[in-house]
Structure 1
Amino acid sequence: MPSPSPRALLTGLGAAAIAVLAGCGTPVGTAAQDRAAPVVADDLPPGSATTTAPAPTPAPPRQLAGVGPRTLARIPQQTRQVVLVTGRSRDSSDATVVLYRRTADGGWKPGAAWPAHNAKDGWTTDHHAGDLRSPIGVFTLSDAGGLRSDPGTRLPYHHSGGFDIGGRGFRGEPLAGSFDYVVAIDYNRATGVTPLDWTRPMGASRGGGIWLHVDHGGPTHGCVSVSESHMKQLLAALDPALHPVVVMGDAASLAG
């Protein structure tokens, strides 16, 4: 058999070298080699998986539910606790109470919603003694007290037999125990004294003695009432260092 020529040997060696460089004996230019070729980021079209996604927009701070800008503007800057009392309607005695705390981002974190009662004939922006309406507004919460001993509150607590009450409410329900625990709402009252103090800075005709107190199962004369267990929770949570206020009124008025 004749020996291959030198040119044929070089041609064979070159083909073998190319085959080795191509990997696993795969000929250059085949689909398999194209699949194995590395892909660099610059080759990818805009919007591909390797494109850096924009940072998500943070959610806005949570606000007091149903409270509009005019009402919000009345809340003191230093306030970190809000008892929000939202009446069902202007003439309703049914309401909901939620305790909020201001968060680090300036928003408000709500607690549980509690059923409540307010005055028999609803709400007013011009409260007067005997009108059977609760005053609408933003009021500080400075003093607490009750017929029973202090359940554990950081508010000044005035324990006194003067909180005893008898008789019946508008629906014939007994009123006994209604003032076992109270928090004075600072409407037309002096602060830093017992809720039983009857000083009326705006005059007696403008009413007073507006409290958060234990619910007796019916409308009040002007106060806001929640269950005894919720009053205890409220007393335990309120902290003078957080400058608590109550924001109270019917839903339509608070939305303003």
Structure 2
Amino acid sequence: MTAVRRRTHPRALGALLLAAGIALSGCQSGGAPPATRQSPPPDANGPGATAAGRSAPRPLVELPGLGPRTRGQVPDGARQALVVTGEGRDENKGSAVLYERDAQGGPWRPGPSWPVHNALHGWTDEHYRDDLRSPTGVFGLTGAGGLLSDPGTKLTYDESPAFTADGTGALGEPLAGSFDYVIAIDYNRKPGTTPLDRARPLGEDRGGGIWLHVDHEGPTQGCVSLTEDAMKALLRRVDPAKQPVVVMGDAASLAR
């Protein structure tokens, strides 16, 4: 699907800037998993070895580290899954791996592992506004945007000055650049809309504005942050035709 770039209308800019300040509330304080547990790679001298002596990752029948409850939330048709695993229930660091498969029911191929930050106080199964925890669960990835121009994504992309981030995070680190690139996590939002959309189907008290965004070297208020290079790589690879999802939470929660 061809990426669509929306431009914010000048008369709506003031409203969007205000909305962004609220919508970004889940992100501005500043998020896979201590490396997601995977099957060990094949022997470098075995049948799967490459010419350089290194083995390509073996496809996985199931997404690793997920228990039956979490696995059951992954849509059957999903062919891309970003698994974000936190180091602990009350921890704000972890790692993320993008898994892909060619067809429903097919084996998953693991991609590279990236370090991430999540919310300051860790994770929760029932997220509320200002609790400084990231919501656990399985959520769609259906909208993107940022302060900078589209790096080449197939998602609908909203380039807008409303993605400007300022101030400092929980560790005193500058937030500038945090929203240069974002992908909206479909937690308490209308799927397929700009990340700036203010709709909150579960109610305002359940928070919102939970995004994947550029890491500012500190914990977030609810989002998951990755390096700028990782964000650009995700934007270029995530394909709405593959029903992409993010599977996120601390390792113990994901294993249930």
Q: Aligned partner of 1:225: which letter? A: S
> What is the match of residue 228 of structure 1?
228
**In structure 2, what is the Cα distance between the partners aligned to 1:116 and 1:60?**
24
Q: Which runs of 5+ in 1 are unaligned?
A: 1-58
Contact 2:140 2:191 in 1 (8 A): no
- 1:54-65 superposed matches below 5 A: 61-65=60-64
1:119 has 2:116 as partner: no
> What is the match of residue 17 of structure 2?
none
Give the TM-score normalised by the residue count of structure 1. Answer: 0.75
**In structure 2, what is the Cα distance between the partners aligned to 1:108 and 1:252?**
21
How far apart are 1:102 and its partner, in Å? 1.8
Contact 2:173 2:217 in 1 (8 A): yes
How far apart are 1:63 and its partner, in Å? 2.2
Q: Aligned partner of 2:62: which letter? A: Q
> What is the match of residue 132 of structure 2?
132
> What is the match of residue 66 of structure 2?
67
**In structure 2, what is the Cα distance between the partners aligned to 1:131 and 1:61?**
35
Contact 1:62 1:109 in 2 (8 A): no
Q: Aligned partner of 2:85: which letter? A: T
Q: Aligned partner of 1:170: which letter? A: A
Q: Which has the larger radius of gyration?
A: 1
**In structure 2, what is the Cα distance between the partners aligned to 1:249 and 1:161?**
31
Q: Aligned to 2:162, what secondary structure does the other structure show?
A: helix
- Percent identity of paired positions between Structure 1 and Structure 2: 61
- 1:87-102 superposed matches below 5 A: 87-102=86-101
**In structure 2, what is the Cα distance between the partners aligned to 1:200 and 1:103?**
33
Residues 21-44 of structure 1 show CA distances to partners (whole Å, capped at 9, x for unaligned) of xxxxxxxxxxxxxxxxxxxxxxxx
Show structure 1 runs of 4+ deviating over 3 A: 59-62
> What is the match of residue 21 of structure 2?
none
1:144 has 2:149 as partner: no
Contact 2:82 2:96 in 1 (8 A): yes
How far apart are 1:95 and its partner, in Å? 1.1
Q: Which runs of 5+ in 2 are unaligned?
A: 1-57
> What is the match of residue 17 of structure 1?
none
Give the TM-score normalised by the residue count of structure 2. Answer: 0.75
Q: Aligned partner of 1:197: which letter? A: D
Contact 2:59 2:108 in 1 (8 A): no
**In structure 2, what is the Cα distance between the partners aligned to 1:75 and 1:62?**
14
How far apart are 1:69 and its partner, in Å? 1.5
- 1:1-256 superposed matches below 5 A: 61-103=60-102, 106-256=106-256
- Alignment length, in residue pairs? 198
Q: Aligned to 2:234, what secondary structure does the other structure show?
A: helix
Q: Aligned to 1:73, what secondary structure does the other structure show?
A: helix
